[in-house]
Structure 1
Amino acid sequence: MTRPSQVLPQLAVLLLFLLVSSSAASTLDDTCKSVSASNKDLAYDYCVKFFQACKGSATADKRGLAVIATKIIRAAAVSTGRRIATIKASQGDDRRIQGPLADCDELYSSAVDQLDAAARGISSGKFQDALTNLSAAADAPQTCEEGFRELGVSSPLADEDSKFSKECSIALAVTNTL
């Protein structure tokens, strides 16, 4: 039989765990509410789904969420770079598409470096540096799409560029609150 003196410490630990878990979930919830309120193009549900790509987001504080967002979009930039390489290889010598693809490849490669710098800035408390790097990375999709528009060519990266842009907006919004 368990004595009351043994139950009390166990109950206290359980209560503390529940409070910490609730607080972390509240941070994610509050952050996504703030993001969707500040940017009408970013729905609350989209924000939550975005962060659910990383298990650590459920227990992260705001700074942790900013780092997580930056890492998620870094992975997206790497993935887009791979897609660009695949498209370039499949298009052969078609100069009308090879030029913009080469530009996009360079933009997303630079975005990876900028996102690495942004994550380091957030982690070290240099939030202005992080915002500068996030903003530079966030320009990649628009500049990429512009190259295709100027040549009157349909962009094979339109979906990736649109998604990357939205995800950068989340990272910028979260980092801007630090």
Structure 2
Amino acid sequence: MKPNLLYFSLYFLLIFFFNIFHATTAHRSNLIQETCKKCAQNDPIVDYKFCVASLQSIPRSHNASLHQLGIISINLNLSNVTHTRSYIKKLVKQKMKKNKETLDYDPYVRACLVDCFDLYSDAVSTLKQAIKDYKSSHYEDANFQVSSVMDASTTCEDGFKEKQGVVSPLTKRNKDVFQLSAISLSIINMLR
């Protein structure tokens, strides 16, 4: 084979493989947007922008399959729940300061925080089980586990609303757990 023909053949093969790699990578990175679009269409609870931002925040999601996006979303939720649990623990221990005086939280707020701490403690172990169920393709069980975490975030938030004038210090965190749960559930349902 002549050297020019050899170089041309190698160049052609490199271009060919680059195009295949680029097409696969582009498809995978668009998969996040496509998945979030389907999630939002199938479930009006899912916020498309939140879904995309959440999944794109994990670098390995850019080359993930739909199945991998599901496990990433559950892991994101687990991380969020774990951080929220730690935050609640800190709030329960924390005392509010006012003019050099230390005041405890309103007993009702403290009781709500303790209830939320218990809910989020259970949610940590529940999501760990959901991950095991998901990985072993027990999607119905994973669906049940993630649904219970979604309910826990709502129960936590609703506890503060039972007394007039009480504002939840966990509203954003509860909404995030709710959204992450909704995203996971939507992906699980796509795979069933």
From 80, 100, 109, the equivalent of 1:97 is 109
From 149, 154, 167, the equivalent of 2:167 is 154
In structure 2, what is the Cα distance between the partners aligned to 1:149 and 1:94? 14
> Given residue 126 of structure 1, which amino acid in structure 2 is its aligned partner?
H
Q: Which segment drifts farther, 17-26 or 48-57?
A: 17-26
Larger radius of gyration: 2
Contact 1:74 1:115 in 2 (8 A): yes
- Equivalence for 1:50: 54
Secondary structure of the residue that 2:94 maps to in structure 1?
A: helix
> Given residue 107 of structure 2, which amino acid in structure 1 is its aligned partner?
R
2:137 is aligned with 1:118: no
Q: Which segment drifts farther, 40-49 or 163-172?
A: 40-49
- Equivalence for 2:98: none
Contact 1:42 1:166 in 2 (8 A): yes
From 117, 120, 128, the equivalent of 1:108 is 120
Task: Report the CA distance shift for 1:58/1:121 in structure 2 as closer, same or farther (over 3 A).
Answer: same
Unpaired runs of at least 5, structure 2: 96-103
In structure 1, what is the Cα distance between the partners aligned to 2:50 and 2:82? 21
- How far has the Cα of 1:159 moved from its partner? 1.6
Secondary structure of the residue that 2:46 maps to in structure 1?
A: coil
- Equivalence for 1:66: 70
- How far has the Cα of 1:113 moved from its partner? 1.1
In structure 1, what is the Cα distance between the partners aligned to 2:30 and 2:175? 28
2:178 is aligned with 1:174: no
- How far has the Cα of 1:42 moved from its partner? 3.0
The count of corresponding residues between Structure 1 and Structure 2 is: 178
Name the TM-score, length of structure 2 as normaliser: 0.85
- How far has the Cα of 1:44 moved from its partner? 2.4
In structure 2, what is the Cα distance between the partners aligned to 1:24 and 1:142? 33
From 83, 86, 90, the equivalent of 2:87 is 83
User: Identity over aligned residues, as a percent?
Assistant: 26
Contact 1:69 1:171 in 2 (8 A): yes
Q: Which segment drifts farther, 24-33 or 98-107?
A: 24-33
> Given residue 150 of structure 2, which amino acid in structure 1 is its aligned partner?
A
Secondary structure of the residue that 1:64 maps to in structure 2?
A: helix
From 10, 18, 34, the equivalent of 2:14 is 10
- How far has the Cα of 1:41 moved from its partner? 4.0
- How far has the Cα of 1:177 moved from its partner? 0.7
Name the TM-score, length of structure 1 as normaliser: 0.91
Unpaired runs of at least 5, structure 1: none
